[in-house]
Structure formats: structure tokens, C-alpha cells
Amino acid sequence: MKPADTDLSQYRVKGEIPIPTLIGWLTLAAVPLLILFAYRSSLRGDPLTPILLLVFAGLLAANGLIYLLTRHSTLQRRGFITVITVLFTYLAVRAVEDGSAIIWLFAYPPIIFYISQARVGVLACSGGLAAVALLFSPLGDLVFDSPYSTSFRLTMLAVLAFEMSTCYVLDQSRRRSKLSLLKLAREFEYAAKHDALTGLANRREVMAQLDSEYQRYLRNAREFSVLLMDIDLFKSVNDNYGHHVGDEMIVLVATTLREQCRKVDTLARWGGEEYLVLLPETGTAEAVQTANRIRESVGSKTINAEEQAIAATISVGVATISGSESVDRLLQRADEALYRAKTLGRNTVCHAESSAVPEPA
């Protein structure tokens, strides 16, 4: 499927009218018009047209009512398209209003292209144009005895084909613009939640994930742990080899985190050369084991700078949620454990002591 033919009805951009709302307004406009033309047809002594126009009005109203009850937008859209397709076909074939009602066909292409996928609009409009051409052909005259003049038929076909082509071009432009806006919005959303250098979650995003996990812990008492880690002697790497080498080391650790952690874990660049890993439903023993696995994996890798291999090591502080302590207290304990790992010689994992806050009742 081409990008411009993607079903975009579920996505909205600022200022755009939702399709269910648009169909609702079209229905509110169409029902009174159909009732009016039904009344006018009855004055002309036409026994069939007033009844059918009222039936179409009832079907449109019923389609709108069903949507209000079910909120099924796809059903609403398909029902509306079906009713108006049959309605416009009848207006053209029956030559309602002395044949002038066929002009309402010009409302069909923009509506169809706007409320449906591009391929549906192309098929519907192509079929409609072919049907009008058949109606205006000698065969159509034999079957329906159409009152339209030759000049009107030629003009109608030419203008209708031009309008359908124009609607298609404009609709493709609209869809591409909408896709570009949606892509831009996703990029902005990603940038707002992720670190530009490593692609890991940023501090704001991991804090949101921590709060969510903490609320789950309060409801279900399922413990979780955090790993707060820091690249050892990072300043000396920047000073001796340059910041570009320091950036390579930061990316190396981030890559290692992705390799060693689960998909359910949240990996974040906490700031500078610090990282935070959120381990949902993970106790102390498993968290320490994960931290050591990450530490050993980082220590086994090197980066090249000035024709020499530079090894990276990390120190890790581990803390597991305890009692009814806050997220801030949990992070404080992880930071204290990280500081202890640094003082013990670096390239070490230390676990924080349990919080003194009592267990929740």
C-alpha cells in the first residue's frame, strides 16, 4: 500500500474535522434537503420519487442514529457511502427535478475522497463516471429514456471527469501532507523522550516510567529495582583523547545495555556519563546479577583512539523498592550505593541497604 493511500481516519491533526463529525453534519444537511425535494416531487404528481427520497432520508438518519448508539465509525462511513451512492444513481437515472438533480453528482467526488481511502475514492469515482457515460449513451437512452441534451451530456462528462481528477490530486496532496505532519509529530515525540546521542530514554521519560512502575507496586506489591551506573574515570578520557572519544564510550555503554537488558526494562541516560536502568518485577538478587552481567560486558569491550584500545569500566549502584518509600528515596539509595562502589575501587556493583520505611499495611 502506498503511503498516501493509508487509512488516516484514525489520526487527526490540529484543525481537522473528524470524519464521523463531518458525516454527521452532512447527514443533518442532506435529510432536510431530501424531504424538501420529496415534497416538490409530490407536487409534480410523481408517485415514486417522493417515497424513495423519504426512504433515503430515513436511511441516512438511521445511519447517524446507529453511530450515536454504537460509536462504530467504520460502519457509519460505509453506510453513508452506500446510501449516497445509491441516491445519486437514482437522481441521475430518474432525472429528478426535470433532470437538474444530476448536478448533485459533483458533490460525490470530494465527499468520497475525504471520508474514505484513496483507492475507494478512485474505484467509486471511476465506476460513477462509467455509469454516467453509460446513461448518456444510446443504450442508456433505450433503457432509461434520459431527457439530457447532447451538449449537456458532453459538458457533464467532461466537467465530472475533470472534477474527479482534481479531487484525486488534491486528496493525494492532503494525505501526503497529513502523513508528513504525523511523521514530524512522532519525531518530536521521540526527541522529547529520548537522548539524542544514545537513543536511550532521557531523564524525563524514565521518571515517568518510574512513577508508573511505582503506582503498580503500590497496587500489587510487585517489587522493582533500579541500577544507577557511572562510567569510571570518564573525565580523564575526555581530557586525554577528546570529547568525540568520550561520546564513543557513552554510546558503547548504551549499546551494551540494550544487549544485556530485557525488552521490558527501561534504559535511560541519566545525565552525562550516568545511566539508569529500571527493572520491573525484579528483586535484589536478580538485579545484582543483571548489574554484574552488564559490568562484565562493558569491561570486555574497547574503543579505538589514537591507535590504541581504550577499555571502559562502570560502577553500579543497585536499589530495590522497599516498604512505602518514595521514588526519590529509592533513587537516593541507588546513588549512595553507586558512591560506595566508587570508593571501593570502581568497576564494582554495590547494593543499597534496605530502606527503614516500614512495609505498607
Inside any domain, residue 216: yes
- Which of 191, 215, 245 delimits the end of a domain? 191
Q: What is the number of domains present in the chain?
A: 2
Angstrom distance (rounded) from CA 284 to CA 352? 9
Asked whether the predicted pLDDT for residue 10 surpasses 80, the reply is no
Asked whether the predicted pLDDT for residue 222 surpasses 60, the reply is yes
Angstrom distance (rounded) from CA 272 to CA 52? 73
Question: Is residue 75 located within the same domain as residue 172?
Answer: yes
Inside any domain, residue 279: yes
* Cβ partners under 8 Å of residue 85, min gap 6: 108, 124, 128
User: Phi/psi at 269 (nearest 5 deg)?
Assistant: -90, 110
Contact 349, 285 (CB under 8 A): no
Angstrom distance (rounded) from CA 273 to CA 236? 12
Encode pLDDT of 241-276 as tens digits.
Answer: 899 999 999 999 999 999 999 999 999 999 999 999
Q: Which residue has the cell 499495611?
A: 361
What is the per-residue pLDDT for 45? 81
Inside any domain, residue 76: yes
Q: Report the chain's terminal Cα–Cα distance, integer Å.
A: 56
Going by the DSSP 8-state scheme, the letter that residue 102 receives in this structure is: G
Question: Is residue 211 located within the same domain as residue 169?
Answer: no
Asked whether the predicted pLDDT for residue 75 surpasses 50, the reply is yes
Asked whether the predicted pLDDT for residue 314 surpasses 90, the reply is yes
Encode pLDDT of 185-204 as tens digits.
Answer: 888 888 899 999 999 999 99
Burial 209-220 (b: 16+ CB within 10 A, else e): bbeebbeebeee
Q: Which residue has the cell 569491561?
A: 299
Question: Is residue 88 located within the same domain as residue 207?
Answer: no
Question: Is residue 115 located within the same domain as residue 174?
Answer: yes
What is the per-residue pLDDT for 53? 94
For residue 260, the enclosing domain spans: 203-351
Asked whether the predicted pLDDT for residue 4 surpasses 70, the reply is no
What is the per-residue pLDDT for 15? 60
Contact 105, 160 (CB under 8 A): yes
Contact 341, 350 (CB under 8 A): yes
Inside any domain, residue 356: no
Inside any domain, residue 359: no
Q: Once rounded to an integer, what is the mean pLDDT over residues 207-236?
A: 94
Sign of CA dihedral 353, 354, 356, 357: positive
Model confidence pTM above 0.75? no
Question: Is residue 19 located within the same domain as residue 124?
Answer: yes
CATH code where residue 244 lies: 3.30.70.270
Question: Is residue 229 located within the same domain as residue 179?
Answer: no
> Residue 280 — very low, low, confident or very high, per pLDDT cuts 50/70/90?
very high
Asked whether the predicted pLDDT for residue 183 surpasses 80, the reply is yes
Question: Is residue 187 located within the same domain as residue 211?
Answer: no
Question: Is residue 139 located within the same domain as residue 271?
Answer: no
What is the per-residue pLDDT for 92? 87
Question: Is residue 139 located within the same domain as residue 219?
Answer: no
Q: Give the three cell numbers for residue 206.
A: 524514565
Encode pLDDT of 95-143 as tens digits.
Answer: 888 888 889 999 999 999 998 888 999 999 999 999 999 999 998 888 8
What is the per-residue pLDDT for 299? 92
Q: Give the three cell numbers for residue 309.
A: 584500545
- Which of 139, 156, 191 delimits the end of a domain? 191
Contact 351, 337 (CB under 8 A): yes
Inside any domain, residue 197: no
